[in-house]
Amino acid sequence: MGRFSGKNVFVTGASRGLGRAVAEAFAREGGHVGIGYHTRREDAERTLALVEAAGGQGSLFQFDVRDPGAVGESVKLFARDADLDVLVNNAAIVRDQHIALMSFDEWESVISVNLHGAYHCCRAVLPRMMARRKGAIINVASVAGLRASPGQANYAGSKGGVLAFTVTLAAEVASYGIRVNAVIPGLLTTGMGTRLDWRTVDRRKAMIPLARLGTAEEVASAVLFLASEDASYVIGQHLVVDGGLSL
């Protein structure tokens, strides 16, 4: 039996990249995974196929994390006949631009998805977790929330907000048996890392003590640790998985 046999795990932004790797990892440990996605139906169906191939069960949920009503309805449908054990807030976007040229839409859209989206999802699951006095929430942040990331003031602001939100929420709900933590990925070989110019990647890789990019699977392993009973005494922490980039 895996660590998440009989457990229900809701993952946002799970149609590809890190979210897909996280969904697969929970499936390999026996979890039933709610695969949240916004627009990429075919990619989400691919994630579902991989979840099932890994030995788990999965369900697809299309919604926009900026819409609290849609978030709440998706959580309600997923948890209709079962408990909700784990939430992974992974949905995020980037709209990079120098701050002097950044439009308000570029600023607001990133904050709305990355930070407001995490808030909406937490608000949707907390009543169920609080009633059971049990649950785990893992928020996916970024090294951009820890150090300067020129051209990403909106993204850095959103991820820094996620880290502050994680600590405060952890303190608020710990007495209900709910553990809230964050994982901080560095530069990965999948997802947003693949959209960077190769010269930018080479410059950043030269700053990583391990001298390589990370993999989505390495970050997924950290997510599973924080969601599992192996981390039963861990709350409000930021687990950095970046090869030393933030040192």
Query: Helix, strand, or coil here: 101?
Result: coil
| 245: in domain | no
Catalytically active residues are 155
| 193: in domain | yes
According to the model, what pLDDT value does residue 83 have?
87
| 15: in domain | yes
Residue 230: alpha-carbon gap to chain centroid: 19
Number of structural domains found in the chain = 1
Per-residue pLDDT of the chain (247 residues; tens, 9 = 90+): 699 999 999 999 999 999 999 999 999 999 999 999 999 999 999 999 999 999 999 999 999 999 999 999 999 999 886 789 999 999 999 999 999 999 999 999 999 999 999 999 999 999 999 999 999 999 999 999 998 888 999 999 999 999 999 999 999 999 999 999 999 999 998 866 666 666 767 777 888 999 899 999 999 999 999 999 999 999 999 999 999 988 8
| 3: in domain | no
**What CATH number did the domain enclosing 187 receive?**
3.40.50.720
Compute the C-alpha angle 135/137/142, nearest 5°.
165
CA–CA gap between residue 32 and residue 196 (Å, rounded): 33
According to the model, what pLDDT value does residue 246 have?
87
According to the model, what pLDDT value does residue 105 have?
97
| 1: in domain | no
Question: CB–CB of 36/74 below 8 Å?
Answer: yes
Residue range(s) defining the domain that contains residue 153: 8-240
What pTM, to 2 d.p., does this model score? 0.94
According to the model, what pLDDT value does residue 148 have?
85
